[in-house]
Structure 1
Amino acid sequence: MSETGIPRGFRPLLALRLALREMRGGLRGFYIFLACIALGTAAIAGVNSLSQSISGSIAAEGQKLLAADIRFELDNRVATPEERAFLDGLGHISVSAGLRSMSRLPDGSNQALVELKAVDGAYPLYGKLESEPERPISELLARKGDVYGAIAAPLLLERLGVSPGAELLIGKARVRVNATIAREPDAVSDGFGFAPRLMISSEALAASGLVQTGSLVEHIYKIRLADPAEVAAFRNEAQRRFPSAGWSIRTSGNAAPSLTANITRFSQFLTLVGLTALIVGGVGVGNAVRSYLDGKRSVIATFKCLGAPASLVATVYLTQILMIASIGIAVGLVLGALIPFVAAQFLADVLPVSTSFELYPSALALAALFGLLTAIAFAILPLGRARKVPATALFRQQGFEPSGLPAWPYLIGALVCLSALAGLAVWTAYDRYISLIFLGAVAFSFIVLRAVALLIAWLARRSPRVHSPALRLAIGNIHRPGALTPSVVLSLGLGLALLVTLALIDGNLRRELTGNMAERAPNFFFIDIQSSEIDGFRSVLRQAMPKGKIVEVPMLRGRIVQLNGEDVNRRSVPPGGQWVLRGDRGITYARNRPENSTLTEGAWWPADYDGEPLVSFSAEEAGELGLKLGDTVTVNVLGRNVTARIANFRQVQWESLAINFVMVFSPNTFAGAPHAWLATIIDPQATAAEEAAVLKGVTNAYPTITSVRVKDALDIVNSLLGQLATAIRAAAAVALIASVLVLAGALAAGNRARIHDAVVLKTLGATRGTLIRAFSYEYAILGLATALFALFAGGVSAWFVVSRIMTLPSSFLPDVAVTTIAFALLVTVGMGLAGTWRVLGQKAAPVLREL
């Protein structure tokens, strides 16, 4: 038996009964609590559900997205007779080719870059090509006389200023656009293209003359198996029988690996933003619990007067908090479950996402766990302080304010929950290193924000005496016991800092792409220049752009297959270096060190070197791959494995957009190997007319050379960046909304003290106008201080990301600073006055009786 006369084994039931009775009055005081938990939970549930929806659709629709059960890709060469015989024996085969080329009008008046896709009569093996008008592919691509049929993306016709039925020149072939592409079944698996699609037949590609020695062509062999379940066995057999083929093999179970990886990375980022919202909301949970328990002081005191131990009091209110948190989590899960369905209506045309409503239990369970841990972690400490309320508080409302730290079990409980929250974030992350950095940054931000709040209070305490009563009262409110300073700075600071960081990163990237980078970058890249064309090509460039600087290098394509004799597929590589091993890379050879790179380690080979094959590797990528001087790199080029030893590392300026390669080999490595040339022309002062002359002159004189105008590519990247930034800002807005909710909760939690202050001051003769000015000054000072912190913290974070991770120039943007300060002042002053307006109308007598 306990001191209450209730057996200890029944105390949880008693706590539950008391908790339910108290909740009969509704959830007043917990609306901010509910909103914070629901918002963060919904963000995490929605992002992970959408990610699983896209990944699941890719897996479920793998055959249609790949247009095959298994896909073999060879770059710059066709399959040998032995390889082709093996592929033919696997099942029904469809052969296609992909490359970039120039399309032009027959009169030479206009031209445009295209992503050319040549298909045979068996395409597609799965899925359906939708066109406008809807006709069989064989009919749309059929040859009539000397003109071949073609199907084009609507964007291509728009750029050339023509309509369906128009004739175009592709290399040496003439094609007629018989339809436009409405949906291409394997577009996602083919990857992102910088130019609109033009689809022709394999016969048209052969007639175009585009496929020459060294041309950058992807030869793709797609196979429909009699038994798709044997796909893994066939893949292993292909690798065993042809270890040096150098082909990239993809199955329907992994139809779009780059898209899947990017979706996973992006969802991790958005999950971390959602976790930020949840953690910021956790501060709101703590404020709401503290405010609620503060209003229950008389009830707690009554419990203690009747003999209830502190542990029973804590259990009663913990039960209430868990029940209310469950409601908030449930609301968040419902909203999160709806997000994929809503997003699918906008993404269905660009991503493989299901448009039917589906639930993703693992994503919802993860979000629920995050929400529950957050609620408990931030509610425990206020509970620990509430148990200190003495029985005498029943008789004197203003006589006791819990102070100091709670008892050690509550501190340990909060620490365990926070540790579990951090561990869960790291365990579920795609890149755990980034997740650890994020958690460290959040913890550091909390510490710094607390220090900022203490600094503001310290400065207010030591500020000189001012003559204005309202300003003097505002300064006193900032540093007095129970001031709102810590809550306001903490709640708004983290959300604003995140928003400033993202805004500065976006602004710097846009400025670099549209300004500095565009000015430094070459005007054009030229691909697939044959050795027999190089002299005449130079003449055309010099005539069209006399002051342009021409740079030309030999270029081959190769895939890294081994590092130090180890198969790269069995090597664990950090995410930052995986792109080097994914697919074919452009490679070159050179006698002298490239002028736009600097040696960081090792030495360059002599100009007449003729020994063991050597390679110069990009220093940053080598670090990601764990390579050192003397290691060996094996690349597959044109079906042959070539092994070279690393002689030196180079610091490559990728942001210059000049000709750069991860690997530069010694000239003897590829002696006699067939290859084409890559060239650029640079003239920052070139006019639009000169650039048009270059494009027209090269395309008309050498139709098989592909010309890429760098400014057009940058415009496409900038457009994609804008779409990405919109999604990121929307996610960051969730964290900012959570901050505003927390701020509202903090203001509500301080209303009792505000009522007491307002009544006393009005009794002493203060007018409502004086109090309004005082509160306005206080909130303005806190908002300005918080904005300054956000600008500093966000500026440092953005500088680190842009200059250290992206290796781009970074600068502070004044418009972001002005917007941030204005927003912070608007939110703090506006919400502060809205929250305290009711306080100013309180009658004095009821409050004075409790003093």
Structure 2
Amino acid sequence: MHGTLPSPARRDPPQQSFGAELLVSFRLAFRNLRSGLRGFGIFLACIALGVAAITGVGSVARSLGDGLAGQGRTILGGDLAASVLQREATDAEKTYLASLGRMSSVATMRAMVRVGDANTALVELKAADSGYPSVGELALDPPMTPEALFRREGDAFGAAADPALFTRLNLKPGAEVRLGDARLILRAAVQSEPDKLAAGISFGPRLLLSQDALRATGLLQPGSLVRWSYRLILPQADEASLTRVTDGINKALPESGFDVRSRANAAPQFARNIERFSQFLTLVGLAALVVGGVGVANAVAAYVDRRRASLATLKSVGATGGRVFLIALIEILALALAGVLIGLAIGAALPYVLASSLRSLLPIPLDPHLYPSELAGGALYGLLTAIAFSLWPLSRVHDISVSGLFRDQVAPDRRWPRRRYVVALAVAVLTLAGFAILLSFDRRVALAAVVGTSAAFVLLRGVAWLIMTVAARLPRPRGAELRLAIANIHRPGALTPSLALSLGLGVTLLVTLALVDSSIRSQLTRSLPERAPSFFFLDIPSSDADRFDALLGQVAQGAKIERVPMMRGRVVSIKGVPAAEVKAAENAAWVLEGDRGITYATTLPEGSRLVAGEWWAPDYKGPPLVSFDDELAKGLNLAVGDPITVNVLGRNITAKVANLRRVEWQSLGINFVMVFSPSAFAGAPHSDLSTVTFPGGAPQEREQAVVAAMAKDFPNVTTVRVKDALDAINDLVGQLALAIRGASTVAVAASILVLAGALAAGRRSRVYDAVVLKTLGATRGRLLAAFLLEYGILGVATAIFGTLAGTAAAWWIVEKLMKLSLEWSLAGAGSVAIGSVALTIVLGLAGTWRILGQKPAAYLRDL
């Protein structure tokens, strides 16, 4: 009778304190890292690239903001500036302002200069007093003092112009031009002016002259669109003093219409645009980091695959699943920290690189520093991304038995991780999403980006499942290569889920950026329909309006001519709430910033339709009424019947909203946010605005003839050619598009890294497949054909999804956020899709080429 040997008594390992257990785990983890970083190159690059993008964009934006703040006094021309439109300050107002500190003034407007009768050009005119510049330096070529520049010779005044004006009119220093009724001698070219940035967008080159010269031109007519800015150098210019003086001006001169700015917000619109655009680029960087997170997940999956033997050994000698997981997590976090440090170094250095290499090209001062908050934010994003995308593949090592861990190569275990890891993963993902939203300039946009990214992850998993399901149910083809490709798509351990997620996210992001870029760039040309005006004529004296119309009708026969009165006004309050305190939506806040063009009319303007309320009668003589743009009214929480107060020519006018209208802004015709009833401005001085529209356009020679004829008889009227104005805006759009393409480069790099990582993660199984098939007689050509078909099918299917998803995302950004029309570009979206498929095939074949050339024996011994 056979007996059984008694089993030895099982001894539980001695209990260790948490600190000792953690210390041992750290020791084992770093011992493993001594073997090198092979296989972690993509992991490090994904983390470093995303962190560098986020940190770099934030640091550059802060550097620009510091540059604006540091140079605010120079940009503004003083500590404070009080500006008013269409009129000069009264003597009483000047006396009050001068009592606050040393005062200087400049006047700015657009005008036409002439050389002879036919050669004309639109200029941005700046008329300075004898103290200009009160802050900073004016650089002229040849160098001279402002006194020498403005010196008068007989009835001719000295002036300086931007080099572009000399080029446009084919002039040299010393040449004479006409401005209105005055003669000007262009003595120098303006190389730089300290307060140029405060002027905003320029539609023509600068022309700098004295205020005496401006008065001699005859351009200062009632209602002319001239802005007078009164700059103050204060005895005390700390923040408290600036606030006190600003409040004092608004209180002492409540109906002056002054727009008061301090050196702290010398260029508020520019600063706001920097913040908005940096937010957009930060979201792109965050998207690139999330896409890179997929690469992190792939790299971690490959790490688990490579360390299978060592992890199984640890478990076989008594290590618990939690201990094995902790060791692996420490290794991954150590590598993630290395990637974060690399990204932080690159991002922190970016402002210094730009400041040294592009200082002469940047339109605003750049003051680079190290910004701890930006560095901390980038590090936080990087570490959270690494944790969120590592937990799922790392959790596999906890519950798989030693034998299962070895067997996982051919029969992958698809069980869900333990609850603790699922909870940790959810916390990490929610924390990452929460920080992305909370730290965002526009939380609505950030929330949409987070929701869209989450939806893309879910949908791509569904796409992968659909591809595998369809492949599994297809009839078996006769060709061995195609049969093998289809089997590889749906078999256990297939690359389909990781490839679909990696490639799909990359294509979605790149198609979105490509379509946003093409929509912005094409919007200008596409928004210039045949009915768009060819010219705008500004500052038409109302007393000469009939004579102007008669001459214009002669020189522009067959063209459509429109003329309306035009004034400028600043919104003072809405429903009794001061404009500065109104909680406006993002798309409507600009209405409350500075002066807006306004008009009055008896009938509904062309290009508008009523959506609420009723239009006033043609003979209405009652209290002031106003018609408001419908979309902007929603953003300002303004409804029919609500009061709105506007300051026009130093007078506050309160009008009731009579109706809301939908405006067709893209026609570029004459239209205004606010249209008042005629009685609101009875007797108020104003000028007129006129447009000329040639049906189907007109040749350049005819347009030049119109400009020359009108400039000869109406030298004080400013002519703006619509195509020239659009070209000026297009230059700015081109700079924004360049930044978008720079962000796209980061996204392209992240997508390539992620795709390479996904393919590298499946390399071990590819080795196994190739070796077994070659042993059974498969040739290299057949294997290459099979892999080519597999990668091609996956690439095409995923690229189709990415193109559709990217188009949807671009539509939401362009239509809902930018309020533009989506321009679907076959070249942009198609090139991204085709390039992605080609890249998938190339990277996939490159990863298997070396394997296919090897003898099976060396690999069979290790299997």
TM-score calculated relative to the size of structure 1: 0.97
Tell me if structure 1 keeps the 8 A contact 2:71–2:365.
no
The residue number in structure 1 matching 2:559 is: 548
Question: Which of 798, 804, 820 is the matching residue for 1:792?
Answer: 804
Cα deviation code 1:489-515 (max 9, x no counterpart): 221222222222232233344334224
Does structure 1 conserve the Cα–Cα contact (< 8 Å) formed by 2:50 and 2:286? yes
Which of 38, 41, 45 matches 1:35? 45
Q: Kindly indicate whether the alpha-carbon contact (under 8 Å) linking 1:397 and 1:850 is maintained by their aligned counterparts in 2.
A: no
Q: How does 1:148-227 map to 2 (within 5 A)?
A: 148-227=157-236
Corresponding residue of 1:22? 32
CA distance in 1, matches of 2:754, 2:521: 32
| Cross-structure match for 1:560 | 571
Q: Name the CA shift for 1:393/1:793 in 2 (closer, same or farther; >3 Å).
A: closer
Q: Match of 1:580, as an amino acid?
A: V
Partner residue of 1:456?
467
In the alignment, is the contact (CA less than 8 A) between 2:529 and 2:667 conserved in 1? no
Match of 2:530, SS state, is helix
TM-superposition CA deviations, 1:384-442 (whole Å, max 9, x none): 11212322257657465232211111111111111111111111111111111111111
User: Which shows bigger deviation, 596-605 or 379-388?
Assistant: 379-388
Show the counterpart of 1:695.
Answer: 707
- The residue number in structure 2 matching 1:129 is 138
Q: Report the alpha carbon displacement of residue 200 of structure 1 after superposing the two structures with TM.
A: 0.5
1:77 maps to: 87
- Encode CA deviations 1:31-89: one digit per residue, 9 max, x unaligned: 11100000000000000000000001111121111120100001111112221111111
Deviation at 1:774, TM superposition (A): 0.9
Question: By how many angstroms is 1:271 displaced?
Answer: 0.2
What's the CA shift for 1:791? Answer: 2.1
Quote the offset at 1:667 in angstroms: 1.1
Question: Which deviates more from structure 2 when the two are superposed, residues 717-726 or residues 839-848?
Answer: 839-848
Report the equivalent of 1:275.
286
Map residues 626-641 of structure 1 onto 2, 5 A cutoff.
626-641=637-652
Q: Percent identity at matched positions?
A: 48
Alpha-carbon offset, residue 743 of structure 1: 0.7
Once the two structures are TM-superposed, the CA of residue 199 in structure 1 deviates from its matched residue by 0.5
Corresponding residue of 1:536: 547
Q: Paired residue for 1:114, among 123, 145, 155? A: 123
Q: Is the 8 A contact 1:617 1:664 kept in 2?
A: yes
Show the counterpart of 2:338. 327
Return the offset for 1:813.
Answer: 2.6
Aligned to 2:61: 51
Per-residue CA deviation, residues 295-334 of structure 1 (Å, 9 max, x unaligned), is: 1111111111111111111111111111111100000011
Residues 422, 7 of structure 1: CA spacing in aligned structure 2 closer, same or farther, 3 A cutoff?
A: closer
Instruction: Give 1:720 deviation, angstroms.
Output: 2.1
Range 236-245 or range 15-24, more displaced? 236-245
Stretch deviating more after TM superposition (666-675 or 328-337) = 666-675
Deviation string, structure 1 residues 233-281 (Cα, Å, up to 9, x no partner): 1111111111222111111111111110000000000000000010011
Which residue does 2:664 correspond to in 1?
653
2:390 equivalent to 1:379: yes
Cα distance, 1:850 vs. partner?
5.9
The CA distance in 1 between the partners of 2:772 and 2:105, in whole Å, is 87
Between 778-787 and 615-624, report the one with greater CA deviation: 778-787
Which residue, 352, 374, 377 being the options, matches 1:341? 352
| Cα pair 1:4 1:307 within 8 Å, conserved | no
Out of 782, 785, 789, which is 1:773 matched to? Answer: 785
1:756 partnered with 2:765: no
Say which SS state the counterpart of residue 72 (structure 1) adopts: strand
Q: Residues 61, 509 of structure 1: CA spacing in aligned structure 2 closer, same or farther, 3 A cutoff?
A: closer
Please say which of residues 145-154 and 482-491 is displaced more in the overlay.
482-491
1:805 CA displacement: 4.4
Corresponding letter in the other structure for 1:175:
L
Q: Which moved more, 1:32-41 or 1:834-843?
A: 834-843
Q: 1:607 aligns with which of 602, 618, 623?
A: 618
Quote the residue 2:8 is aligned against: none
Which segment is superposed worse, 478-487 or 107-116?
Answer: 478-487
- Is 1:232 the counterpart of 2:249? The answer is no
**Segment drifting more, 295-304 vs 748-757:** 295-304
Three-state SS of the structure 2 residue aligned to 1:616 is strand
Post-superposition shift, 1:2?
A: 7.2
| TM-score (normalised: structure 2) | 0.96
Query: Structure 1 stretch 583-592 or stretch 433-442: which is displaced more?
Result: 433-442
Partner residue in 1 for 2:108: 98
The 3-state SS of whatever aligns with 1:268 is: helix
Alpha-carbon RMSD across the aligned residues, in angstroms, is: 1.7
In the TM superposition, residue 174 of structure 1 has moved relative to its aligned partner by 0.9
> Is the Cα–Cα contact under 8 Å of residues 573 and 645 in structure 2 kept in the other structure?
yes
Q: What is the letter of the counterpart of residue 323 of structure 1?
A: A
Match of 2:277 among 235, 243, 266: 266
Q: Which runs of 5+ in 1 are unaligned?
A: none
- Measure, in 2, the Cα distance between the counterparts of 1:735 and 1:472: 35
509-518 or 120-129, larger mean C-alpha shift: 509-518
SS in 1 for 2:588: helix
Does the 8 A contact of 2:574 with 2:643 survive in 1? yes
State the Cα deviation string for residues 463-511 of structure 1 (Å, max 9, x = none): 3332221122112111112211222222122222222223223334433
Partner Cα distance (1:327, 1:452) in 2: 34
| AA partner of residue 579 (structure 2) | V
SS in 2 for 1:786: helix
**Structure 2 counterpart of 1:201, which letter?**
S
Question: Which residue identity lines up with residue 51 of structure 2 in the other structure?
Answer: T
* CA distance in 1 between partners of 2:407 and 2:479 (Å): 34
CA-to-partner distance for each residue in 1:749-799, whole Å, 9 max, x for gaps? 101111111111111111011011111111112222222222212223333
Mapped contact 2:202–2:728 kept (Cα < 8 A): no
1:299 aligns with 2:316: no
- Report the count of equivalent residues: 849
Structure 2 residue 532 is the aligned partner of structure 1 residue 504: no
SS at match of 2:185: strand
Contact 1:557 1:586 in 2 (8 A): yes
In the alignment, what sits opposite 1:88? 98
Q: SS at the partner of 1:53?
A: helix
Please tell me the residue identity of whatever aligns with 2:348: A
Out of 65, 70, 75, the residue aligned to residue 60 of structure 1 is 70
Say if 1:558 and 1:352 are closer, same or farther in 2 by CA, change over 3 A: same
Matches for 1:278-427 after TM superposition, within 5 Å: 278-344=289-355, 345-354=357-366, 358-393=369-404, 398=409, 401-427=412-438
For the residues of structure 2 that align with 1:848 and 1:363, how far apart are their CA atoms? 51
State the one-letter code of the partner of 1:83: E
Distance 1:466 1:305 in 2: 45
What letter is aligned with 1:714? L
User: 1:441-467: per-residue Cα shift (whole Å, max 9, x none)?
Assistant: 111122222222222222222233322
2:843 pairs with 809, 828, 831, which one?
A: 831
Question: What's the offset of the Cα at 1:572?
Answer: 2.0
Deviations along 1:12-43, one digit per CA (max 9) or x if unpaired, are 10111111111111111211110000000000
Tell me, in whole angstroms, the C-alpha distance in 1 between the residues paired with 2:165 and 2:831. 40
Contact 2:411 2:492 in 1 (8 A): no
Counterpart-to-counterpart distance in 1, 2:23 and 2:804: 51
Aligned residue type for 2:231: K
Quote the Cα distance in structure 2 between the aligned partners of 1:424 and 1:395.
39
Equivalent-residue separation in structure 2 for 1:205 and 1:646 (angstroms): 39
Shift of residue 165 of structure 1? 1.7
After TM superposition, give the deviation of residue 5 of structure 1 in Å.
5.1
Of 494, 500, 507, the residue aligned with 1:483 is 494
Measured in 2, the distance between the counterparts of 1:264 and 1:682 equals 38
d(CA) in 2 for partners of 1:85, 1:823: 68
Residue matched to 2:7: none
**2:412 and 2:492 in contact (8 A); partners too:** no
Deviation at 1:841, TM superposition (A): 3.5
Given the superposition, is the C-alpha separation of residues 397 and 677 from structure 1 closer, same or farther in structure 2, using an over 3 Å criterion?
Answer: closer
